[in-house]
Structures are given as C-alpha cells and as structure tokens.
C-alpha cells in the first residue's frame, strides 16, 4: 500500500470522550446508561450538522467525520452506509501515554467498522521522557504496520506538551512556547517517529502561527520520499479568530490538505443545547455554519 493521502480533507472531529463526560455533562466517573444516552445524543446533533453542511454544499469527497465507537457506533455505521468518509480513534481517551483503547482487540474493533481513516492521538515531545517515547513508538509502529497491511489510512494526531524543563526555561510563557519552540519540537517528533517505523498517511498537527513553520512541518512529514503524505490543522479548542489564522497559514502550503476543527465548531452550541437555551435543530445549524466557514476560509486562501 502506498503511504500518503493527497486529496483535500476537511474533518469534523467529535471523537472526544473525557471532555464530553466531564466538561459537557460534569460526570465524576464512568457514564451510566442514562449519561451514555445523553452523550450519544449530543454526538447525533453534530452528525446532523455534518449532513446539513453536505446539503448546503460541502463536497462529500472532501468532508469527513471523526467519531468514537463508545458513543458514536451508530453514527459510524450510518455514515459508512451513505458512503461518507469516516475516521475512528484507537487510543484511550485522556491518557498521557498512548495505549490502545481495546488492548489486543484493537484490530477487531477496526474491522467491525472499517473506517476510511484510523486515528491515534499521541502526546510526544522529543525532549521529554525517552523511555515513554520509546514505548509509544513501539505501539505506534505496530499499529502503522497493521493498518497498511490491511489497507487502512493512518491519521496521526501529534500533540507536543511542554516538559517541566521547557516551562521553566520559558518562564511559563505559553505563547513563547507555541511560537518559538513548539514548531521545532513538532518537526523533531515527526522525524523520530518516522525513524522508528511509524508511517502516517496524514499528520494531524497543532495550528502554527507562522506560515514558514507550516512549510517546515510539511517538509518534515514528506521527508525521505514520503511525497504523498498529507498534513491537516487541528483547532485545539481555540477561538474562531485563531483557528482562521491557522487555516490561512496552512492553506496553499504543499502538503497541507485540510483541517480537523472540533470543539470550536460544536462546543458552544452543545452547551446552549444542554442548558435548554436552543433546540437541537438550531444547534446543528450553528455547527454546520461554523464547519462551512472553515471550509471556505481554507479554500479561499488556497486560491490566492
């Protein structure tokens, strides 16, 4: 199987689990049947928003959803039946170290839903704990090899949290970390993982404040003959202004093919729905408009 994905890819991700349980519904432990139903219902609203965006002109060959099995199994099945692009996660939610959500059964769960993409969220800092990085890379290499043997696309969500030493060095200045240090750490992490045998088709990376950093990250992702590998920008739950800046920085850079913006798309409408301030229909409409805004911004900048 040839590694990479070069088509435009506009993902609406709502595979969040811990943030729905704790942040949206305030649960203090594992969800019971009633809470599970509420979370699944909220995700159905996001899915309805996605379908509404398609009705309003989003290109179904470029649009994709990313949703989890725990609360979105019915959505994954319905989307597949409609021929839509789908992605599902394989990591345990909210963990500092990458582990398979279903342990040794990870392959069976992938085969059950047969998504277009399989996503792994990983916190990886090349200047961090070397043993932690080694353990994660070994698991991810296994996943990468299995996915490509079975003709699945691998979407790698790379998060680079600062180490304690880096926080101290920058005196806790998050903006200085984001602008001055994170890009080089992202590049270092990408190369380390590639050298360890981890071969994503798509790198899902944190937004970058400078276009030149987007160029460098894309070059790292495509280094060593990986000319078809794509990158997409994630929203990090930031505000719309910041997300739009990141999209404009990345659009048109060779290798950047799209985005995956989740919480900025759906969080406020879902909170309003939870609090009884708006209807599910209105919430879906708001989410659809936000998603279409990201599409328009990315494509408009590409055309410049």
Supply the pLDDT for residue 172. Answer: 86
Rounded CA-CA distance 76/207 in Å is: 27
Say how many Å lie between the first and final Cα of the chain, rounded. 34
Express each pLDDT in 160-208 by its tens digit. Answer: 999 999 999 988 888 899 898 999 999 999 999 999 999 999 999 999 9
For residue 197, what is the enclosing H or E element?
Answer: none
Rounded CA-CA distance 31/19 in Å is: 12
Q: In the predicted model, is pLDDT for residue 234 greater than 80?
A: yes
Q: Which domains does the chain have, with CATH numbers?
A: 9-302 (3.20.20.70)
Q: Name the pairing type of β-strands 202-206 and 230-234.
A: parallel
Q: Give me the half-sphere count of Cα atoms (radius 13 Å) on the Cβ side of residue 279.
A: 3
* Predicted TM-score of the model (pTM): 0.95
Q: In the predicted model, is pLDDT for residue 303 greater than 80?
A: no
- Among 194, 178, 270, 175, residue whose Cα is nearest residue 3: 194
Share of the chain above pLDDT 90, in %: 91
Give the count of beta carbons closer than 10 Å to the beta carbon of residue 52: 18
| Average pLDDT in the chain | 96
Higher pLDDT, 157 or 172: 157
Higher pLDDT, 174 or 53: 53
Q: In the predicted model, is pLDDT for residue 304 greater than 80?
A: no
Q: In the predicted model, is pLDDT for residue 1 greater than 80?
A: no
C-alpha radius of gyration, the chain, whole number = 18
E strand residue ranges, the chain: 9-13, 63-66, 85-89, 117-123, 153-159, 202-206, 230-234, 256-260
Q: Name the pLDDT band for 292 (thresholds 50, 70, 90).
A: very high
CA separation, residue 183 to residues 191, 205, 206, 213, 233 (Å): 13, 10, 9, 6, 13
């Amino acid at each position: 199987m040839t590694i990479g994905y070069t088509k435009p890819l506009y993902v609406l991700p709502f595979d969040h689990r811990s943030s729905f349980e704790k942040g949206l519904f305030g649960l203090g432990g594992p969800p019971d049947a009633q809470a599970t139903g509420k979370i699944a219902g909220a995700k159905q609203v996001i899915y309805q928003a996605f379908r509404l965006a398609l009705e309003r002109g989003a290109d179904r060959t470029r649009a994709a959803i990313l949703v989890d099995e725990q609360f979105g199994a019915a959505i994954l099945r319905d989307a597949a039946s409609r021929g839509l692009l789908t992605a599902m996660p394989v990591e345990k939610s909210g963990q500092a170290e990458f582990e398979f959500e279903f342990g040794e059964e990870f392959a069976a769960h992938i085969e059950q839903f047969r998504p277009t993409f399989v996503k792994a969220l990983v916190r990886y800092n090349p200047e961090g704990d070397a043993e932690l990085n080694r353990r994660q890379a070994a698991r991810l290499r296994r996943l990468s090899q299995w996915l490509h043997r079975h003709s699945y696309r691998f979407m790698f969500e790379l998060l680079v949290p600062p180490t304690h030493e880096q926080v101290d060095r920058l005196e806790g200045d998050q903006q200085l970390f984001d602008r001055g240090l994170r890009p080089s750490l992202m590049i270092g992490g990408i190369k380390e993982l590639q050298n360890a045998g981890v071969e994503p088709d798509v790198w899902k990376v944190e937004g970058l404040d400078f276009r030149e950093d987007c160029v460098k990250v894309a070059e790292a992702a495509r280094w060593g003959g990986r000319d078809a590998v794509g990158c997409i920008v994630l929203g990090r739950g930031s505000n719309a202004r910041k997300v739009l800046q990141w999209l404009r920085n990345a659009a048109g850079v060779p290798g950047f093919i799209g985005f995956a913006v989740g919480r900025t798309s759906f969080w406020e409408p879902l909170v309003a729905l939870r609090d009884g301030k708006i209807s599910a229909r209105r919430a879906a409409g708001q989410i659809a408009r936000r998603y279409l805004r990201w599409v328009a911004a990315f494509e408009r900048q590409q055309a410049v």
